[in-house]
Amino acid sequence: MSNIERRDFLKLIGAGSVGAGAGFMLRESIKHPVEHLIPHVVAPEDFSTGIATWYNSVCSMCPAGCGISVRTREGRAKKIEGNAAHPINQGGLCARGQAGLQVLYNPDRLTGPLLQTGERGSMSFARTTWQEGMSKVAHSLDLLRAAKWGNKVAFLSHGVGGSLGQLFETFMSEIGSDRVLHFDFDHPHNLYAANQRLFGEDHLPYYDLENTNFLLSFGADYLGNWISPVHHSLGFGRSRQSPGRAHSVQIEPRMSISGAAADEWIAANPGTEGILALGLAQHIVANGGYEGNDLDAWAATLAEYDPSQVAEKTGVAVDVITRLADAFAASQPGLAIGGGGAGSHSNGVDTLVAVNALNYLVGNIGKSGGLLFNPQPAGGAQRSRQATYNQITELAEDARQGNIDVLIINGANPVFTLPAATEFAEALAGIPLIVSLSSFLDETTGLADIILPSHTYLESWGDNFPQPGVGIPIGAVSQPVVSPLYDTRSTGDIVLGLAGELGMGDTIPWSNMEDCVKDSWRTIYERGDPIERMEDFDEFWISLLKAGVWGEKSRREPFVNLDKGAIDGIGVKAPEFVGTADEYPFILHPYVSTTLHDGSAANLPWMQELPDPMTSVVYGSWVEMNPATAKEMGLREGDLVDIESEQGSIHAPVYVYPAIMPDVIAMPIGQGHSAYGRYAKDRGANPIEILGLQTDKRSGSLAWSATRVKVVATGKHVGLVKSGGKSRELGR
């Protein structure tokens, strides 16, 4: 993508989207010629009355920011596919993205404003009007602002960027508050921190899987949930089809989808992946694989990571370590990536720094097939508001101390995605007014006093500037593809409405979110080259809506040198766990579900019915256990067990899983909701609930792979619901 001129890029994607709609509102304002439809007495089998219209927009089912094309007929959305012009997904789309229709048409959507009529948590709500609901919230905010207590207002959202994220910032600043936090369970805090420590970069780089010859992954399930899985799946697939056929290695204690697709899967002791990476680095440096000016600094830093010592700590044989190091150094360009379980231990940041060090030592920084630094996001740099675990617990403590009077929650569900030991739900009791903008009655929204329900993303205006990008600045507009189904409003329009009632017209002048987004893109339009850009902004805007994406040519210069202090600080300590090995013999390995994500897709029946790709289980939870461990404990598939940690206990049926280490048990995250609609409620167990409160001290993020547990048989047995049969041929 980076070799295409900006003007040619717009022309290309505009021409590729002939017939695509340019927004519901645009369609209503520019009527097509009248067509008379005369129905058949008996219509042909392949004929449908009416004309299908496609709208290009942005998927909001995960943070990746894929482009989508939505087919509508008679004003109803019928199908979601990938936008072939969007550089992130290039026409591809995951199952969760296609299930966005079930967000729009979900029978458990909130259909209008609600007021809590009973005690918090009783789920006793009564309908109210928008005028009453907005007035109550605006009145409380106005009182705090007038008393110079604006900082007693907090805004907690799921991850939001672009124009909407900037609107949150401006709105809260006008109130007098700096308490704007975004919270997503699987946000890669440690990966950001690792890139900042070693490279001084605030943004994630572009990982060029497509053009690499050797892919070395430390726990990053790039085909499942790591950062941008659709884009990485496309790159991985193309790398496998190239004449040289890239070699891939996956290192992790439990086989993921990426591990199943790799040429080699290597099991390493949980939390030692960074030590293994430094063992590879030491072998490369000691055997002449690196000749940079800072060779002596690297040799001194890596001296204690001799492969023989690393083998004892990681459980990976010496000959495997040296073979991998030699192959990675020789097969250029090579690419090392890290994340998932490897980045979620107490040493997660150091582990990911070690992985980045491998990229530096083999010289793949700034090269095709390696690690490319992204330019400044197209929408401009915004202050990162993603809350770490420490920051979200500080918010809870402030609530307990009476330092928060109003909490506005937008789409985040920390009551579900935080360990029970955090006692976040109990902390909310200290807040006089809680306002939720959610579309669904989840565990956190159930504690709100006022619910002002938002449109779904298919009914709303917005924009997106994906991070990480694809090596060039890109952006896209999210537009409504259907009229609102219920008495809801877009999140941006709710905030704009409150701003209007509070008299913020000077700094927040827009009457609706469409105007706000257009003004943001007018800035992007005006900063372009006057010779290259279109003559009129309206022409640019319509072309943008039709194409669904925008981009320009702007590449970063390759990174060359590291600061010596950064090299001296590299090192990975042994992981720390909550619970002793004697009392809690197993390490719990929770992983983000490919279908349900962090639980945010658990209310979609398509996702519940979609078989897990590694176990084929549907509609439930399970705990994966090595066959030798299961045999030793006298357990078989379907036996119900209690999984106990120092923080509590959950129960799930056993799934005997050959590709997991004997002292590790694994559970998918996503089930175990106590609310969130009929498809999610009271189904399965939530492993987050029993996690210990271990953190990575370098980033303040939760070390959600650092909890030890024990497994206790209950004597009960259930049948796992699976779409697959036997995993063996049974002689056939």
pLDDT attached to residue 111: 97
Q: Express each pLDDT in 69-95 by its tens digit.
A: 999 998 899 999 999 999 999 999 999
566 pLDDT above the threshold of 80: yes
10 pLDDT above the threshold of 60: no
Handedness of CA 135, 139, 142, 144 (dihedral sign): negative
38 pLDDT above the threshold of 70: no
pLDDT attached to residue 91: 97
Mean predicted confidence (pLDDT) in 214-243:
94
Q: Express each pLDDT in 622-674 by its tens digit.
A: 999 999 999 999 999 999 999 999 999 999 999 999 999 999 999 999 999 99
pLDDT attached to residue 546: 94
pLDDT attached to residue 565: 83
528 pLDDT above the threshold of 50: yes
Q: Per-residue b/e over 104-143, b at no fewer than 16 CB within 10 Å? A: bebebbbeebbbbeeebbeeebeebeeeebbebbbebbee
Cβ pair 156, 407 in contact under 8 A: yes
Cβ pair 278, 293 in contact under 8 A: no
d(CA 567, CA 563): 7
pLDDT attached to residue 141: 98
Phi/psi of residue 105, nearest 5 degrees:
-105, 15
pLDDT attached to residue 380: 61
DSSP 3-state assignment of 717?
Answer: strand
Mean predicted confidence (pLDDT) in 124-146:
97
pLDDT attached to residue 116: 96
22 pLDDT above the threshold of 50: no
Q: Per-residue b/e over 669-679, b at no fewer than 16 CB within 10 Å? A: bbbbbebbbeb
Mean predicted confidence (pLDDT) in 254-274:
98
432 pLDDT above the threshold of 50: yes
Q: Express each pLDDT in 158-172 by its tens digit.
A: 999 999 999 999 999
Lowest mean pLDDT segment, chosen from 110-124, 199-213, 254-268, 373-387: 373-387
Strands 701-702 and 695-696: antiparallel
pLDDT attached to residue 368: 92
Give Cβ neighbours of residue 192 (< 8 Å, ≥ 6 apart). 202, 204, 384, 699
d(CA 29, CA 538): 14
Instruction: Give the pLDDT band of residue 560 (cuts 50, 70, 90).
Output: low
pLDDT attached to residue 564: 74
pLDDT attached to residue 283: 98
Instruction: Give the pLDDT band of residue 2 (cuts 50, 70, 90).
Output: very low
Instruction: Give the pLDDT band of residue 232 (cuts 50, 70, 90).
Output: very high
pLDDT attached to residue 472: 85
Provide, rounded to the nearest whole percent, the portion of the chain with pLDDT above 70: 90
What is the average pLDDT value for the chain, to the nearest integer?
Answer: 91
pLDDT attached to residue 732: 57
Q: Express each pLDDT in 136-158 by its tens digit.
A: 999 999 999 999 999 999 999 99
DSSP 3-state assignment of 720?
Answer: coil
How would DSSP label each residue in 661-713?
A: -TTEEEEEES--BSSS-TTTBT-S--GGGG----EETTTTEE-TT-EEEEEEE
Closest Cα to residue 688, out of 671, 676, 701? Answer: 671
Q: Go through the chain and tell me how many residues it has.
A: 732
267 pLDDT above the threshold of 90: yes
| Burial status of residue 260 (CB atoms within 10 A of its CB: 0-12, 13-18, 19 or more) | middle
pLDDT attached to residue 12: 43
Find out whether the peptide bond into 333 is cis, omega within 30 degrees of 0: yes
Higher pLDDT, 15 or 568: 568
Lowest mean pLDDT segment, chosen from 2-6, 173-177, 251-255: 2-6
d(CA 577, CA 266): 22
pLDDT attached to residue 376: 80
pLDDT attached to residue 467: 84
Cβ pair 160, 410 in contact under 8 A: yes
Find out whether the peptide bond into 63 is cis, omega within 30 degrees of 0: no
How would DSSP label each residue in 464-496?
A: E--SS-SSS-EEEEE---S--SSS-B-HHHHHH
pLDDT attached to residue 92: 97
431 pLDDT above the threshold of 60: yes
Cβ pair 335, 359 in contact under 8 A: yes
d(CA 318, CA 307): 6
Mean predicted confidence (pLDDT) in 676-685:
97
How would DSSP label each residue in 309-323?
A: HHHHHH---HHHHHH
Instruction: Give the pLDDT band of residue 506 (cuts 50, 70, 90).
Output: very high
Instruction: Give the pLDDT band of residue 241 (cuts 50, 70, 90).
Output: confident
Closest Cα to residue 669, out of 691, 649, 654? Answer: 691
Mean predicted confidence (pLDDT) in 273-278:
98
pLDDT attached to residue 454: 98
pLDDT attached to residue 28: 42
20 pLDDT above the threshold of 80: no
